[in-house]
Copies of this chain bind each other. A is one copy, B any other.
């Protein structure tokens, strides 16, 4: 007997037929003797429809009212799934965020989960009742409905799993697991059986869109074993995969990963733009003078590289921004050229960040050198490099994306 959280996204509950399919997955786990909580999104299209209504009502609308309107989508799904489960003879009831309660901060529209009181849920699921929980929502300190922002249902599910001390949080999605890289680019990409939290965090934030970054962060902090699997699987198929798990990818503590690969995957983030500032005075406060105004303008800056200045007086700073923010970022910087004091500003659209990720890197030398040599052999120019303990990222021209990803995927022995 295990305690499980199962999470189903919008396409998995798009209509009653699909909701019935979800119910069969739930029933299978109940029949296996597990205690089950289910977290559901709104039926596909509903959230967009409700968001549109709010926008039409007023372009700049109160986030608290937006939350009241938009959270209704998950409310509907939770009730319908409970009805379908009961029809199948499974004891079930729906839970809204305020009923649990799932407390969040007051940042309506993009709330962060605070304390979740898991007691009532634990009491009910221990009695064999399936808890069908409306994802994506909670209750703010002012007793009003809050939502977690788009994609927040993954985070809801992991947070619920932490609160009820679940053995595993199963994320049912439209892919059957986490791959060594995007299979659309590298047909030999393999599904990973296990990925460490830290690796998944890098992969999630670097463009592998399987899981929301926030949900992986939360899983790591609370040690929630998170299992990514396909909602299109036949619910009645035998649940046989590796290590007593059905087919999918387990995101877990590195201790659980017996044979750790040096490199786990190759991620890439398209739609980036590069900005380089030349001859910036090399003195305290200059980084803040550059990046402060960008932060104020709500421009998300990534991959900052600053070299030691050769003459001790000026240096160059390179960083990336989302391509859609490129023009705005350039304008913000031009306006401050004189006050901050720097030379030329150079930029390039159409760059891509390719990252080599692997927790095994920490104990293996030479991984970065291998990467640089591999790319050089293919004639791919590296525009900038950043590294962390478990990842190497290089910025290259986007025309070389596929070549670079395939080269690195082979180089580190990831081809299936």
- A residues in contact (CB < 8 Å) with B: 16, 19, 50, 53-54, 56-58, 61-62, 64-69, 71-73, 75-76, 78-80, 82-84, 86-87, 93-94, 96, 98-99, 143-145
- Contact A68–B79 (Cβ < 8 Å): yes
- Contact A96–B68 (Cβ < 8 Å): yes
Known A67-B79, A68-B94, A99-B144; 20 more pairs at CB < 8 Å: A16-B53, A50-B76, A53-B76, A53-B80, A54-B83, A57-B84, A57-B87, A58-B83, A62-B93, A65-B79, A65-B82, A65-B86, A65-B93, A66-B79, A68-B78, A68-B82, A72-B72, A72-B73, A96-B145, A98-B98
- Contact B98–A83 (Cβ < 8 Å): no
**A90–B98 CA distance with the chains assembled, in angstroms:** 27
- What are 10 residue pairs bridging A and B, where the CB atoms are less than 8 Å apart in the complex? A57-B80, A61-B83, A61-B87, A62-B83, A65-B80, A65-B83, A69-B79, A72-B72, A72-B73, A72-B76
- Contact B75–A69 (Cβ < 8 Å): yes
**A405–B145 CA distance with the chains assembled, in angstroms:** 52
**A311–B93 CA distance with the chains assembled, in angstroms:** 61
Minimum C-beta distance from A285 to chain B (A)? 41
| A19-B57 contact in complex given A69-B79, A75-B72, A98-B98, C-beta closer than 8 Å | yes
- Contact B76–A64 (Cβ < 8 Å): no
Residue of A19, A72, A75, A99 with highest tally of chain B CB at under 10 A? A72
**A76–B76 CA distance with the chains assembled, in angstroms:** 12
**A93–B82 CA distance with the chains assembled, in angstroms:** 30
**A96–B61 CA distance with the chains assembled, in angstroms:** 18
Minimum C-beta distance from A377 to chain B (A)? 58
Number of copies: 2
**A50–B79 CA distance with the chains assembled, in angstroms:** 11
CB contacts (< 8 Å) of A62 on chain B: these are: 82-83, 86, 93
CB contacts (< 8 Å) of A56 on chain B: these are: 16
Residue of A76, A86, A93 with highest tally of chain B CB at under 10 A? A76
CB contacts (< 8 Å) of A66 on chain B: these are: 79, 83
* Shortest Cβ-Cβ A-B pairs, 7 listed: A69-B79, A58-B87, A72-B72, A68-B79, A57-B83, A65-B79, A61-B83
Minimum C-beta distance from A366 to chain B (A)? 57
Q: Which residue of B lies closest to A78 (CB)?
A: B68
- Contact B58–A86 (Cβ < 8 Å): yes
**A76–B56 CA distance with the chains assembled, in angstroms:** 13
Q: Among B58, B78, B99, which residue has its beta carbon within 8 angstroms of that of A84?
A: B58
CB contacts (< 8 Å) of A79 on chain B: these are: 54, 65-69
CB contacts (< 8 Å) of A99 on chain B: these are: 143-144
**A365–B88 CA distance with the chains assembled, in angstroms:** 64
**A180–B332 CA distance with the chains assembled, in angstroms:** 71
**A57–B19 CA distance with the chains assembled, in angstroms:** 9
Minimum C-beta distance from A168 to chain B (A)? 26
Q: Which residue of B lies closest to A19 (CB)?
A: B57
Q: Which residue of B lies closest to A49 (CB)?
A: B76
Q: Which residue of B lies closest to A16 (CB)?
A: B56
Minimum C-beta distance from A120 to chain B (A)? 9
CB contacts (< 8 Å) of A65 on chain B: these are: 79-80, 82-83, 86, 93-94
CB contacts (< 8 Å) of A16 on chain B: these are: 53, 56-57
Q: Which residue of B lies closest to A64 (CB)?
A: B93
CB contacts (< 8 Å) of A53 on chain B: these are: 16, 76, 80
CB contacts (< 8 Å) of A93 on chain B: these are: 62, 64-65
Q: Which residue of B lies closest to A101 (CB)?
A: B143
Q: Which residue of B lies closest to A98 (CB)?
A: B98
CB contacts (< 8 Å) of A80 on chain B: these are: 53-54, 57, 65, 69
